[in-house]
Amino acid sequence: MRPLPAAGIVLLLLGLGVLGWQAATPGAAVSPGLVDDRIGLLSVAERRRLGTYHAWLREHHGIDYRVVVGRGLGDLDRFALDYVERHGVGGEGGRGLLLVLDPAANQVRLEVGYGLEGRFPDAFAAYLQARQMTEFFAVDRVADGILAGTELILAQAGEDAVPAIAGSGGAGARLPARLGAGRAAPGEVPVAVEAGATPREVLATYRRAMARRNDNPDLAIYARETRRLLAGRLMTPAQMDNVAKSLAACPVVDERRAPEGRRVVLLAASGERRCPPYFLVRQDGAWRLDLAAMGRAVRFDQRNRWRLAAGALGAYAFAFEEVAREP
């Protein structure tokens, strides 16, 4: 099976058009019953991508994940329980996940089998829906919301830590889907960067911005191209949480500066391939994050390990002479 786009930090960097950093990996045909789209909400390509994730979860984690989209499904708690029993989702070990969306009722539910409650507790189910999926639903990107939720499920399947928010209920969680509610205003939490800040200080400021869920695309820490890119994109709370978590776990140990002095790459320990390099460029007398260039150059495999795309490093090639590129 070919590598999948990873989750974790790359929920922000890759995820479903959030930044458009990596094209969706072509997937196999969707097995019957895994994606039960009764209203034609998902395109063939979207169903195929979901099918790729389903296959990965089943093969590597023994998780039976299904999606049902329909109108007039009634009480989603009862519908989900009945569907799991009728279709044997998760088998005798209860290792099943069922995502149910009813756009007409503006409701979404993630049903978690008893065999997966330790990995996907109620707090995670609520977090997945409230801080990731419904952010897309609110701006009428329903299919993207389903796919983004699936990427977070993929990440959680291989994680030890469980993010939590207050409140959840039942075996899983059911929440308002917030369909068409509209995008919230950009975060206004102050995130200051001192004049003359070093590249490491700029990266630390970025971590604070993400930890405070500040999705303002015009922060001074961003390069011009990055600001233009972020202005038309959606950063969900879950994506920002994962970036902050990744940065906190990935201290910089190596700073590589271009001979001309205008570009810097910050790297974590060489063996930590889950900690991507960060690119910075000097513009208007200050160091700024070049996330746009990172997006062209950095790729991730199914284990969230970064690689470099051949021919995409451009002016940052100076920092990676010893690192293998992808074909």
pLDDT grade for 45, boundaries at 50, 70 and 90? confident
Element (H, E) at 51: helix 44-61
pLDDT grade for 24, boundaries at 50, 70 and 90? very low
CATH-assigned architecture of domain 31-176: Roll (3.10)
Name the more confident of 118 and 199: 199
Cα gap 96→115, rounded to integer Å: 8
Per-residue pLDDT at 134 exceeds 90: no
Per-residue pLDDT at 326 exceeds 60: no
Nearest to 275 by CA among 5, 4, 2, 10: 10
Mean model confidence pLDDT for the chain: 78
Quick: pLDDT tens for 154-185.
878 875 433 333 222 334 555 455 555 455 55
Per-residue pLDDT at 227 exceeds 80: yes
Per-residue pLDDT at 311 exceeds 70: yes
- Per-domain residue ranges of the chain: 31-176, 199-326
Cα gap 277→238, rounded to integer Å: 21
The stretch 78-90 carries a mean pLDDT of 93
Name the more confident of 56 and 289: 289
Cα gap 8→2, rounded to integer Å: 19
Whether the pTM exceeds 0.85: the reply is: no
What letter would DSSP give residue 213?
A: T
Nearest to 159 by CA among 304, 296, 259, 14: 304
Alpha-carbon torsion (284, 290, 292, 293), positive or negative: positive
141 in the Ramachandran plot: left (φ > 0), alpha (ψ -120 to 50) or beta?
beta
Nearest to 7 by CA among 159, 158, 160, 155: 155
Cα gap 46→150, rounded to integer Å: 12
Alpha-carbon torsion (35, 38, 41, 45), positive or negative: positive
> 142-157 and 44-61 are packed helices; what angle lies between their axes, rounded to 10 degrees?
10
